[in-house]
């Protein structure tokens, strides 16, 4: 074995934000595959040999990974829309400043970086946005993700940007709450005018792993094939659970008083780059929603217990 490939074998995959939904699943998969993997956390009590302390709002400029990093997958960030809207400066210090400083450090030390972005870099007026469509965010969260994309795209061949639509994992609070309510005969009020194009967490993990293995740079979209409204997802749940569909009382998000952002008409993304580069595409959205109700562990593609085990 040449010294270069020997050194390569001793390098780590770094999961920045290993407490996140996606980071946790990725850590579990990589560990199970026998890869050398490290995570980062901002929770002091979680720091150990493989979970390094990193707060994107605080210590990024001084931060160096103590071990050589082959690929870094950035999952950390302020992902709550309300939090970004109410605290635009504090959230941007994490989502834009900290994030771009970290990516620069990692690229300068030779790592390939995969950055997870979102359909919310677009305004939602047009379905199936292409990877090279101009960005048009309308929320503070979307604006911060778009700005981060812009900054890190300067690192060209050293970065991949993966835009995701709604990711469903093994424990989707909303669908399990609806299922519980419907099984007790209680009414639910899903949004009729709010849509998602859901993708399974397992699919996201697979895409990240393939891009990491091949160090494929560029922009990639991972999206369900169509939008489904929350109301349609609720009716599907009632059908699957054998509940009375009269329990479903759709309301409009825009009139509910519970949602203050503009409600996008579309969330889908064009996935041609994913098909051409990796030859894969996510399962159809009704399957993904069905699994969220009936067999959520399928959405992570590993044993649910393993998902909750901390590596
Ligand atoms: N999940 C989706 O449906 C979806 C869809 C589109 C795009 N994405 C993108 O995919 C990425 C991962 O999403 P996710 O849903 O897995 O994330 P998540 O579960 O919301 O977790 C975000 C993580 O970021 C960490 N974090 C927040 N502020 C931080 C800081 N200052 N320094 C370090 N870590 C910080 C949080 O730490 P604590 O756990 O300690 O709070 C949390 O673990 C995000 O970039 C998101 O924009 C996700």
Contact 56 CB / ligand 1 (< 6 Å): yes
- Cα 187 to averaged position of ligand 1 atoms, centre (Å): 31
Contact 78 CB / ligand 1 (< 6 Å): yes
**How far is 127 from 44, CA to CA, in rounded Å?**
42
**How far is 51 from 17, CA to CA, in rounded Å?**
10
**How far is 278 from 276, CA to CA, in rounded Å?**
6
Closest atom of ligand 1 to 21 CA is 16
37 forms beta bridges with 13
Show the tokens assigned to 3: 């010294």
Complete DSSP assignment for 230-292:
HHHHHHHHHHHHT--GGGB--B-HHHHSS--S---S---B--HHHHHHHS--PPPHHHHHHHH
Q: pLDDT band for 304, please (50, 70, 90 cuts).
A: low
Higher pLDDT, residue 159 or 302: 159
Cβ-proximal residues to 173 (8 Å cutoff; 6+ apart), any chain: none
Instruction: Determine the pLDDT at residue 61.
Output: 86
- Cα 196 to averaged position of ligand 1 atoms, centre (Å): 18
Q: Is the pLDDT of residue 46 over 70?
A: yes
Contact 274 CB / ligand 1 (< 6 Å): no
Check residue 156 and give left, alpha or beta (phi > 0: left; psi -120 to 50: alpha): left
**How far is 168 from 283, CA to CA, in rounded Å?**
12
Coil, strand, or helix at residue 52?
strand
Q: pLDDT band for 3, please (50, 70, 90 cuts).
A: very low
Percent of the chain with pLDDT over 90: 86
Percent of the chain with pLDDT over 70: 94
Other Cβ atoms less than 10 A from the Cβ of 245: the count is 11
The residues spanned by each domain of the chain are: 3-171+197-227+264-288+299-308
Mind listing the pLDDT tens digit for each residue in 230-258? 999 999 999 999 999 999 999 999 888 77
Global confidence as pTM: 0.95
- Cα 112 to averaged position of ligand 1 atoms, centre (Å): 20
3-171+197-227+264-288+299-308 — its CATH code?
3.40.50.720
Contact 199 CB / ligand 1 (< 6 Å): no
- Residue with the smallest CA separation from ligand 1 atom 1 is 167
Instruction: Determine the pLDDT at residue 273.
Output: 96
Closest atom of ligand 1 to 76 CA is 24
């Amino acid at each position: 074995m040449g010294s270069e490939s020997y050194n390569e074998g001793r390098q780590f995959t770094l999961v920045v934000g290993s407490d996140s939904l996606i980071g946790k699943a990725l850590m579990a998969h990589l560990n199970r595959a026998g890869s050398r993997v490290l995570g980062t956390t901002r929770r002091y009590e979680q720091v150990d040999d493989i979970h390094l302390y990193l707060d994107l709002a605080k210590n990024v400029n001084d931060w160096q990974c103590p071990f050589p990093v082959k690929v870094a997958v950035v999952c950390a960030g302020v992902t709550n829309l309300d939090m970004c809207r109410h605290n635009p400066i504090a959230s941007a210090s994490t989502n834009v400043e900290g994030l771009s400083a970290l990516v620069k450090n990692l690229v300068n030390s030779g790592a390939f970086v995969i950055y997870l972005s979102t359909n919310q870099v677009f305004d939602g007026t047009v379905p199936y946005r292409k990877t090279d469509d101009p960005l048009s965010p309308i929320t503070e969260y979307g604006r911060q993700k778009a700005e981060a994309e812009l900054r890190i795209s300067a690192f060209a061949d050293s970065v991949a940007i993966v835009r995701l639509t709604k990711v469903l994992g093994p424990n989707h609070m909303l669908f399990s709450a609806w299922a519980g309510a419907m099984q007790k005969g209680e009414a639910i009020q899903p949004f009729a005018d709010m849509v998602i194009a859901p993708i399974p967490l397992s699919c996201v993990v697979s895409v990240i792993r393939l891009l990491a293995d091949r160090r494929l740079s560029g922009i990639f979209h991972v999206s369900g094939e169509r939008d489904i409204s929350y109301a349609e997802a609720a009716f599907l749940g009632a059908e699957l659970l054998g509940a009375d569909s009269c329990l479903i009382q759709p309301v409009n998000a825009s009139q509910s008083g519970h949602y203050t952002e503009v409600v996008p008409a579309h969330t889908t993304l064009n996935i041609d780059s994913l098909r051409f580069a990796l030859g894969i595409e996510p399962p159809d959205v009704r399957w993904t929603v069905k699994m969220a109700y009936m067999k959520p562990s399928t959405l992570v593609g590993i044993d649910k217990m393993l998902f909750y085990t901390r590596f």
